[in-house]
Amino acid sequence: MTKTSQVWLIQRHPATFGRVFEIFVVVWAALLCLYLPLTLETERVVGTEPNIFATILSPFRGTLLAHPMLELGLVIGMWTFGALWLCQRWLPFSPWLSAAFFTFAWAVRLENMGKTIHVSHLSALMLWILAWWRQTTLSEFRLAKAQGTPWSGLYYPEWVFQSCLLGVCFFYGWAGWSKLAESGLDWPNGISMQIWTRLWGNPHFFATQWILDSRPLAMVLQAMSIVFEVFAPLAILPRFRFWIGLGLVGMHLGIITVFGWGFHGNMIFIALLMFPIRSWLEEGRLNLTFFLNPWTSKPRALS
Amino acid sequence: MHSNWKSPPGSPWELIVPAAMLLVTFGLPFTGVVDCYPFSGAPMFNESPRTYCEYTAFDGKGTVLPLDLLGLQRNDNGNPPGHGHGRKPKFSIDRLGKVSTKGQIEAAVLQSLKLNPFEVHGFVTVKVRVIKDLDGNQIGEDPNLSWIQVVKLP
């Protein structure tokens, strides 16, 4: 086993960061599920031919998969088990079921759509990694809970942080590499940015007009986006992490404010993983005691 | 800070699930599969269009016609069509980066009206506005490339 993987396996950190990250992931996933019933009538395509393999549920296409009640049931399931997970109840089943219901709810939606969206992929990946974390450290969590330190006990392995970070790095790395593969170095030509902005930009936001009025600005924004995406995997290295994170968060702020697309969760994941939030929490420079105390149970005797 | 660390060290199997998830996330695009939710090669906006068309359609009485009944609606949402969705979108000739010919528009309108019976008075007038780079700084309608065409119904 390499030294790195030994460190990733053995090193345990105070769980505060992991628990805060977990809350953001589960709450965001629940909000993404809220999008599904709200768009049940408008986004589902009825009566067109099946497309190529699109989700892990594609082999099971049939009448049941097309039934809207299935999607609603999965959403309600995600909310239920997500709430149990947040309350630290029925572990480790609630995390597993929450991840499964979320993944299948969105898979069912995508199976019934005539176009795709990419807002839920990263959330699904994070949910599965976090569910596995709660599975593998269940006894350590129970010990910390019994000792009265469910938020700060040493049951957050390094591999959880590194796996979530790698997931973000690969996702955004591919976003950049696929642009290079498809359009080459001409991708940041500024014209395409102006076309997307004209089509989908918020006409009431000042930056929308700036982009439409200035090709150089459009080119710079586009070039910065592809640079940060292509080099996103460098965030694995601590020395580049903050700067890559800053660039990707800036890109998402632009996407959210100009286009209004739902990448808020991805932006928060990037900020939490790539900004030094974890070290601030561990070094006590960021103190969440005031917020976390109401949910901290009193210590009880070890049995 | 870790002086009171008492948790037992993890075993290698702790890495199985994240390793598998990350391997598929990273490796899937190498297999040629662009999207298989929850895994994705993240192809959003990987095309870089330099032009597109804006369509408006009327019937003989000047009533605005829904574009999706004429095969002229926009299916594009920034993601390359064809990947990551289980149903094929409703037929359309509109595509970012492409300017359709008059023949393609006429064929699309006639074929779509045949498939979607819809009350159309007399004929269909399609106004095609071609949007592209105008002056090296802005995009807009190029009046020299835009046109209005009348599709006579059988």
Kindly list the domain boundaries of chain B, sorted by start residue. Answer: 1-39, 49-152
Tell me which chain A residue has its CA closest to the CA of residue B81. Answer: A115
Whether B78 and B100 have beta carbons less than 8 Å apart is answered as: no
CA distance A291 to chain B (A): 22
Q: Does B82 touch chain A (CB under 8 A)?
A: yes
Q: Are residues A275 and A177 in the same domain?
A: yes
SS3 category, B68: helix
Find residues 153-182 of chain A whose CB sits inside 8 Å of chain B: 154-155, 157, 159-160, 163, 166-167, 170-172, 174-175, 177-179, 181-182
Q: Are residues A108 and A59 in the same domain?
A: yes
3-state SS track over chain A? CCHHHHHHHHCEEECHHHHHHHHHHHHHHHHHHHHHHHCHHHHECCCCCECCCCECCHHHCCCCCCCHHHHHHHHHHHHHHHHHHHCCCCCCHHHHHHHHHHHHHHHHHHHCECCCCCCCHHHHHHHHHHHHHHHHCHHHHHHHHHCCCCCCCEEEEHHHHHHHHHHHHHHHHHHHHHHHHHHHHHCCCCHHHHHHHHHHCCCCCHHHHHHHHCHHHHHHHHHHHHHHHHCHHHHHCHHHHHHHHHHHHHHHHHHHHHHCCCCHHHHHHHHHHHCCHHHHHHCCCCCCHHHHHHHCCCCCCCC
pLDDT number for residue A72: 95
> Per-residue pLDDT for B81 more than 90?
no
State the CB neighbour count (10 A cutoff) for residue B7.
Answer: 20
Residues of chain A scoring pLDDT < 50 = 302-303
pLDDT number for residue B7: 43
Tell me which residue of A262, A207, A250 sits closest to A29, measured CA to CA.
A262
Q: Are residues A123 and A233 in the same domain?
A: no
pLDDT number for residue B6: 40
pLDDT number for residue A106: 97
Span B44-65, pLDDT tens digits? 999 999 999 999 999 988 899 9
Q: Are residues A69 and A202 in the same domain?
A: no
Q: Are residues A135 and A200 in the same domain?
A: no
Q: Are residues A196 and A148 in the same domain?
A: no
Q: Are residues A89 and A218 in the same domain?
A: no
Q: Which residue has the tokens 């561990």?
A: A282
Q: Are residues A31 and A3 in the same domain?
A: yes
Q: Which domain holds residue A263?
A: 171-294
Q: Are residues A31 and A138 in the same domain?
A: yes
pLDDT number for residue A52: 85
Tell me which chain A residue has its CA closest to the CA of residue B84. Answer: A54
pLDDT number for residue B9: 56
pLDDT band of B119, cuts 50, 70, 90: confident
pLDDT number for residue A292: 64
Q: Are residues A132 and A180 in the same domain?
A: no
Contacts of B40 in chain A (CB under 8 A): 118, 121, 171, 174
pLDDT number for residue A64: 79
Q: Are residues A8 and A137 in the same domain?
A: yes
SS3 category, B50: coil
Q: Which residue has the tokens 């190498």?
A: B30
Task: Write the ipTM.
Answer: 0.91
- Mean pLDDT of the residues in chain B: 89
* Domains identified in chain A, total number: 2
SS3 category, B23: helix
* A21 found inside a domain: yes
Q: What is the mean pLDDT of residues B40-46?
A: 94
